[in-house]
Amino acid sequence: MAMISTYCPHFNGLRRSSPKLDSSQSQSFLQHINSQLRLASSRKPCRAVTAMAGSGKFFVGGNWKCNGTKDSITKLVSDLNSAKLETDVDVVVSPPFVYLDQVTASLTSRIEVSAQNSWIGKGGAFTGEISVEQLKDIGCKWVILGHSERRHIIGEDDQFIGKKAAYALNEGLGVIACIGELLEEREAGKTFDVCFRQLKAFADVVPSWDNIVIAYEPVWAIGTGKVATPQQAQEVHVAVRDWLKKNVSEEVASKTRIIYGGSVNGSNCAELAKQEDIDGFLVGGASLKGPEFATIVNSVTSKKVAA
């Protein structure tokens, strides 16, 4: 399927020391990075359609953000309930807080429900917050934490987000842990540094990685229509998996799903899904359209190795 979204090939900064490369040098450099960061030399080389690098199930989440009305969400849930979804995908949607109960009561059990945020500890005198206990009480299975809009608009820092994640995991919620760099950080060659710093804040406090999905979302690609090229996304995903191998364990690196977010839609998901270390997607605007979200879920077929 052709890629129709606007790509940003000039965003090639990963380390400050990286020189500016022309197209042929860039391809050579990328091949070198991939070969150096690959977890195991025994992996099969990339083919037209590739398998997943990790051992986890393909995962697609829909972040509805601050969108929707009772009527529009009723229609969206109806579309999702009637959609034909591939069986080998974990599917999660994340409605606004005020519609969580409506969605959990009406959505097919094939799709799990996530919250978009949770409080750092048990509930109490915390005006405007939602506790993990309340989320579990209405049937939520997941929570999104560390999203760039929480980091850069609300002002949540790495340590605060890490503590939220630790509490949610300890209380039995799965965590979609978001990481990603700003445009100026990528242009300054700090992509890996930023992502690794954000990862460390989770790694320092979480009790286990069993129920964590990492969502790499370059901030410059969220809601802008600009999508990281499949190669740009892949190289960061490889680096994240390698960081987990070196700083947590090889088992965690293999099992933890690393999904991509940033203007993913029905037209670009298949090409992105072919990348070996992209284990799924966290989808924004396109998740508000039932048929398009189903197309993204079903892009798992692009992961299946050609016979």
Give the active site residues: 147, 217
- C-alpha Rg value of the chain to the nearest Å: 19
Distance in angstroms (rounded) separating the CA atoms of residues 205 and 61: 24
298 neighbors 254 (Cβ within 8 angstroms): no
Burial status of residue 265 (CB atoms within 10 A of its CB: 0-12, 13-18, 19 or more): buried
DSSP string, 268-307: THHHHHTSTT--EEEESGGGGSHHHHHHHHGGGGGGSPP-
CA quadruple 87, 93, 99, 101: dihedral sign: positive
**Residue in the block written with tokens 């994240």:** 240
86 neighbors 302 (Cβ within 8 angstroms): no
Does an H or E element contain 114, and which?
Answer: strand 112-115
Burial status of residue 104 (CB atoms within 10 A of its CB: 0-12, 13-18, 19 or more): middle
Angle at 181 between CA 244 and CA 92, to 5 degrees: 70
Residue 84 neighbours by CB distance under 10 Å: 7
Helices (H), 85-140: 100-106, 132-137
Burial status of residue 39 (CB atoms within 10 A of its CB: 0-12, 13-18, 19 or more): middle
